[in-house]
Amino acid sequence: MTTSTTLGAPPRSVAGRVVDRIGGGLVQAVLVLIGVFWLVPTLGLFVVSLREETANNSTGWWTALTKPAEFTLKSYSDLLASGFTASFWNTVFITVPTTLLVIGIAAMAAYAFAWMEFPGRDALFLVVVGLLVVPIQIALIPVAKLYGTVGIFGSIAGVVLFHVAFGLPFAIFLLRNFFAGIPSSLLEAARMDGAGEWKIFSTVVFPLAKPAVASLGIFQFLWVWNDLLVALVFANTENQPMTKALQSQMRQFGTNVDILAPGAFLSLIIPLILFFAFQRYFVQGMMAGSVK
Amino acid sequence: MTNRLDGPQDPPGDTAGGSSPGPNDTLRPAPDAGPEVRTPPPGAPTGDTSAEDAAPVKPAKKATRLGPPPSMAIWFLLPGALLLGVMVIYPIIYSIFRSLYDANGDGFVGAGNYATIFSDSATLITIRNNLIWVVVAPLLVTAMGLIFAVLTERIRWATAFKLIVFMPMAVSLMASGVIFRLVYEQAPDRGVANAVITSVSGLFDSDQGYPDARPRENDQAPVAASQGAVVSKQPAAPGRAVLVPLVGVKPGSIASAAPAKAAQPGPGELAGTVWVDFTQGGGGAVNQVDPTEKGLVGVTVEAVRNGAVQATARTEADGTFRFTGLAPGDYQVRLPSSNFQAPFNGISWLGPTLITPAIIGAFIWVWAGFAMVLIAAGLAAIPRDALEAARIDGATEWQVFRKITVPLLAPVLLVVFVTMIINTLKVFDLVFVIAPGSVQPQANVIALEMWRVSFGGGGNQGLGSALSIFLLVLVLPFMVLNIRRFRRDNQ
């Protein structure tokens, strides 16, 4: 009696502990099942991408798990020989500049919102918050027309600009909130040293915001890397990223599995690496931006 | 969560207005605003709090403007403002006007395009589907996220589990679409979803169907087809053997079957053999059980008298069956039609009826991790004492969950739920990629229809603009919600 109170543990019967143990075991079993459920689709894609077309047409991919001799890289080598690499590089050329531009432009605006005073500042920021949820569909037709006039329809530059514009509200929102949390004493110190606004922004505030910039960067990168709709409208065949290249093969899904499976897998490899390497920032960014 | 990054920003935000003036005045000779008394910044809340904070310390300086002149801000805002203005704000205005004109943009049609949205059967289907999406998907995703978050709380390998469930967030919806096209393949020996269903249902029901088996159609055959079943032509009494020769069975399905044996009825038994009366490579006598011919296992056989089933038996591996304990008399032997039904051929996930639920399944696969991670963070922030106090007071785990955990989680659940609603309203890629071309009209959603109408061969940018405005109107309440929440958090 006394021991149990001092230990703070409620006295439990043997039966109660057995029930707990079984309950815990049940929870674990259920979670394992769910985990398998979540893994199997991706695993299936991977295995399918490693099998010959004829094998995929005759038996399910899971039968190959017991006979790894069936595995071959043929689909991958065929795919790379077919010019898929060009769309891979297009994806890179779209994603990297977009990410850098969004970070740079948004950081400047966020600095102004957080640390400068100007008339209409708060109202303007509310506009940014409002723009967070604007569907990109609204801009497809007008911007397509605009690009036609300017002559960048179909180009990588057009795709990048569109992504940058629609990435900005989230980026400004995220960075402003982070910038505003930087202790003002640091800025005062810099101002006392006679630093101008640009200098304070680039040497004090921006470097301090590395975690937020990392969150934003990874988010923006994945978002653009994985986009299909913008590319579908604004990129021509020559400049199309992987998502659009794959989409054009979907019409004959059955006969094109040997292109689609390795292509889809290649397209998700880099996001997955980034995700596992930076998942902390990914989660932080997601939480900071969950109003979106 | 929002609060975490939002939270700390308030005090510094205030100080920006309130306390930075000091040093700045001395160092920055000039901004024309310097000495002059300025009204607090337009954002009243920030201005007010800063006044309170600063007041006791340096009342005199509270209204002094510090830092750079407002004109400086223009340069920092210009690139972003230009892009947002040209690529987001202007298009909204343009679309509003464009939606009032016809396909080519020449003729003014007023609200005609909007009337089309609500009268055309194709767009009505998209609205119906979006409605299904909005009602079903956010609820399921939030519920699953909550369940996963709660279940993983006390598990040692929670991180591994979370990574696995969260991973689809990093994968493009395009690739997810390919992944689920493979999962939903109809043939049970190719699509993993139907393979699982087949093997699970196989545990309960081992019926082996012989869809193509049939009796020979000639007068010598002892059995004949009748309304899908196979019946013996001559009545048989106990003590007799009945032959049921069938043909047309696919060689593949009986490759490993045992050789058939002619049944030897015991006294008072009605026995018989169901077998494939076909000797591979030729030879063999018709209507005779030849040594290499295969028996059909698992066939249901009924003994029928006066139209009523008196007894039921199943064939052994060698195709034999026997009825014991039958009353004397004549019976007809019948193989009911259930023996000849096609085996389970897979659920048609990608067919017109199931396509939307199937795609919602893929959506849940993608987003459950998002919900789980957000809710788990909210869960971790719940004070343990509250839960402990309730438990000490004798509350059951379920009561603790219902009465304490869920109410405390409500703000997070709302964030997840609203985020999912917005996502389902905008859903495009998954539908576009998973639904095969022929069923896309049945799976269609507003965002996809907008693209199809304007770019995917429709060529009607008037209707496309109207659809995009419609979509914007649908997310408008959430825009307002966001703005209100933000203002509240910042006061």
Give me the pLDDT at residue A12, please: 55
Shared domain for A121 and A147, answered yes or no, is yes
The residue segments making up the domain with residue B335 are 223-340
Domain boundary among A25, A40, A72: A72
Angle between helices A156-179 and B70-84 (to 10 degrees): 140
Domain of A256 in residue numbering reads as: 78-288
CB within 8 Å: A134 and B88: yes
State mean pLDDT over A119-144. Answer: 93
Q: What is the mean pLDDT of chain B?
A: 80
pLDDT for position B288 = 83
Same-domain check for residues B291 and B181: no
Other beta carbons within 10 angstroms of residue A276's beta carbon come to 12
* Listed residue (B447, B487, B466, B460) closest to B130, CA to CA: B447
Q: Quick one: B362 and B431 in the same domain?
A: yes
The confidence band for B392, taking pLDDT boundaries of 50, 70 and 90, is confident
* Nearest CB neighbour to A112, from listed B46, B77, B432: B77
Rounded percentage of chain A residues whose pLDDT exceeds 90: 43
Same domain for A108 and A37:
no
Interface membership of B350 toward A (CB under 8 Å): no
Q: Do A89 and A62 have their domain in common?
A: no
Q: Which of A46-50, B60-64, B98-102, B260-264 has the lowest mean pLDDT?
A: B60-64
User: Could you tell me if B46 and B177 lie in one domain?
Assistant: no
The mean per-residue pLDDT over the stretch B259-276 comes to 85
Min Cα distance A86 → chain B (Å) is 18
Which residues on neighbouring strands pair with residue A235, listed in sequence order?
Answer: A154
CA distance B377 to chain A (A): 9
Residues B46 and B161 reside in one and the same domain: no
Q: Inform me whether the C-beta atom of residue B56 falls under 8 Å from chain A C-beta atoms.
A: no
Same domain, B299 and B431: no
If asked whether residues B137 and B53 sit together in one domain, one would say no
Domain co-membership, B423 together with B304: no
Residues A104 and A164 in one domain: yes
Would the CB atoms of B468 and A112 count as touching at under 8 Å?
Answer: no
B12 assigned to some structural domain: yes
Rounded to 5 degrees, φ, ψ at A196 are: -80, 170
Q: Are residues B308 and B436 in the same domain?
A: no
Q: Are residues B244 and B273 in the same domain?
A: yes
Q: Name the pLDDT band for A16 (thresholds 50, 70, 90).
A: low
User: Do A207 and A147 belong to one domain?
Assistant: yes
Residue from B25, B144, B172 whose CB has the most chain A CBs within 10 Å, to mutate: B172
Total domains present in chain B:
3
Mind telling me how many Å the CA of B341 is from chain A's nearest CA?
Answer: 23
Pairwise CA distance, residues B404 & B398, whole Å: 10
Q: Compute the nearest-CA separation of A124 from chain B (Å).
A: 10
Same structural domain for residues B445 and B362?
A: yes
Are B277 and B359 in the same domain?
Answer: no
Residue B61 forms part of a structural domain:
yes
Question: Which residues 6+ apart lie within 8 Å of A155 measured at CB?
Answer: A235, A236, A239
Best interface-test mutation with A: which of B26, B36, B179 has the largest number of A CBs within 10 A?
B179
Same-domain pairing of A86 and A42: no
B378–chain A Cβ distance below 8 A for any pair: no
Do B276 and B385 sit in the same domain of this protein? no
**Domain end marker among B68, B86, B101:** B68
Q: Are residues A60 and A118 in the same domain?
A: no
The whole-number pLDDT of residue B50 equals: 38
Domain total in chain A: 2
What pLDDT shows up at residue A167?
95
Contact B187, A255 (CB under 8 A): no
Pairwise CB contact (< 8 Å): B471 & A137? yes
Q: How far apart are the first and last CA of chain B?
A: 18
Last-in-domain residue among B340, B361, B384: B340
| Long-range interactions of B403-411: CB distance < 8 A, separation 24+ | B405/B150, B405/B379, B406/B146, B408/B378, B408/B382, B409/B146, B409/B375, B409/B378, B409/B379, B409/B382, B411/B378
Q: Judge whether B195 lies within some domain.
A: no
Q: How many CB pairs under 8 A join A and B?
A: 350
The CA distance from B404 to B143, in Å, is 17
Q: B396 in a domain, yes or no? A: yes
Q: What is the pLDDT of residues A259-279, one digit of tens each?
A: 889 999 999 899 999 888 888
- Which chain A residues touch B395 with a CB distance below 8 Å? none
Amino acid at B84: L
Q: Based on the domain organization, do A160 and A176 belong to the same domain? A: yes
Together in a domain, A138 and A184:
yes
Residue B342: the pLDDT is 65
Residue that finishes a domain, picked among B317, B340, B363: B340
Chain B nearest CA to A7, separation (Å): 14
User: Once rounded to an integer, what is the mean pLDDT over residues B321-329?
Assistant: 85
Mean pLDDT across A187-209: 87
B90 lies in a domain? no
Query: In the predicted model, is pLDDT for residue A185 greater than 70?
Result: yes
Residues A39 and A126 reside in one and the same domain:
no
Q: From CA A34, how far away is CA A31, in angstroms rounded? A: 5
- Is residue B429 scored above 50 in pLDDT? yes
Whether residues A14 and A41 share a domain: the answer is yes
pLDDT score of B69: 74
B409 close to A (CB below 8 A): no
pLDDT tens across A136-154, in order? Answer: 999 999 999 999 999 999 9
Q: Is residue B97 part of a domain?
A: no
What are residue A222's phi and psi, to 5 degrees? -65, -40
B422:A292 CB<8 A: yes
Q: Pick from A72, A105, A133: which residue ends a domain?
A: A72
A247/A274 same-domain check: yes
pLDDT of residue B66: 54
Pairing of strands B241-246, B270-276: parallel
Residue B73 belongs to some domain of the structure: no
Tokens, residue B203: 């545990």
pLDDT at B7: 32
Return the higher-pLDDT residue of B2 and B264.
B264
**Cα-Cα end-to-end distance for chain A:** 54
* Domain-ending residue, one of A14, A49, A72: A72
Q: Is residue B199 part of a domain?
A: no
* Confidence class for position B1, pLDDT limits 50, 70, 90: very low
Check: CB of residue B215 under 8 Å from CB of residue B248: no
Mean of the pLDDT values across residues B353-374? 93
Q: Which residues of chain A have a CB within 8 Å of the CB of B5? A: 174, 177-178, 181, 212, 284, 287-288
What would the pLDDT profile of B128-169 be if each residue is shown by its tens digit? 999 999 999 999 999 999 999 998 887 888 888 998 998 898
